[in-house]
């Protein structure tokens, strides 16, 4: 069984866009910009033998304010800049009740099945409570990047890091986080 690092996209790998004091995903390829050292962090994880799988909610598609093709273009650009192994996207809104939308673990479970991943030896790195919730639900060690935007966390992360690069150093240190 392989080990994986599941990564939220917006706010972990790339900058979020602030709108009305809330973080949101980039709405165009022009708004998409990697965070400092995020590519380096992912390359380090891959060299250490971890699969890197992006797990991202993109509800603006279901809400009709973002075209699926734009999300796909952004993800294609991400793959050009950073060698991730897989990208999983949930296009649903909360009210759709799907099993793939974080904090539910569906995307992690599907990726684990596809890639033969040992979830209990893997990590979920995210910047929001829903990422941490999905990681817990899947049985992964969870690392929060940043301050969580002041959101309430039903379950605390196992560790907190200032950036994906710092989170990758925690993971690679093999210390219990």
Indicate which residues carry an active-site annotation: 8, 10
Quote the crossing angle between the two packed helices 106-115 and 129-138, to the nearest 10°.
Answer: 50
Angstrom CA distances, 35 to 39, 65, 77, 165, stand at: 8, 24, 14, 10
Count of CB atoms within 10 A of residue 29's CB? Answer: 11
> What string of DSSP letters covers 143-158?
EEES-GGG---SS--S
Residues in Cβ contact with 57 at an 8 Å cutoff, skipping those fewer than 6 apart: 89, 90, 92, 101, 102, 130
Q: Which two tokens stand for residue 5?
A: 């690092």
Measured CA to CA, the distance from residue 10 to residue 63 in angstroms comes to 18
């Amino acid at each position: 069984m392989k080990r994986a690092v599941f990564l939220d996209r917006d706010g972990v790998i790339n900058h979020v866009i602030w709108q009305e004091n809330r973080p949101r995903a980039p709405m165009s390829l022009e708004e998409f910009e990697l965070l400092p050292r995020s590519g380096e962090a992912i390359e380090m994880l891959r060299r250490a033998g971890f699969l890197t799988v992006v797990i991202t909610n993109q509800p603006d598609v279901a809400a009709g304010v973002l075209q699926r093709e734009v999300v796909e273009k952004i993800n294609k650009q991400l793959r050009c800049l950073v060698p991730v192994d897989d990208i999983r996207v949930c296009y649903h809104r909360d009210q759709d009740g799907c099993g793939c939308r974080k904090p539910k673990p569906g995307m992690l479970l599907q990726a684990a099945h596809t890639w033969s991943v040992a979830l209990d030896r893997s990590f979920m790195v995210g910047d929001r409570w829903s990422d941490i919730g999905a990681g817990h639900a899947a049985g992964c060690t969870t690392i929060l990047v940043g301050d969580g935007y002041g959101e309430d966390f039903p379950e605390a992360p196992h560790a907190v890091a200032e950036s994906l690069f710092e989170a990758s150093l925690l993971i690679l240190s093999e210390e219990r986080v």
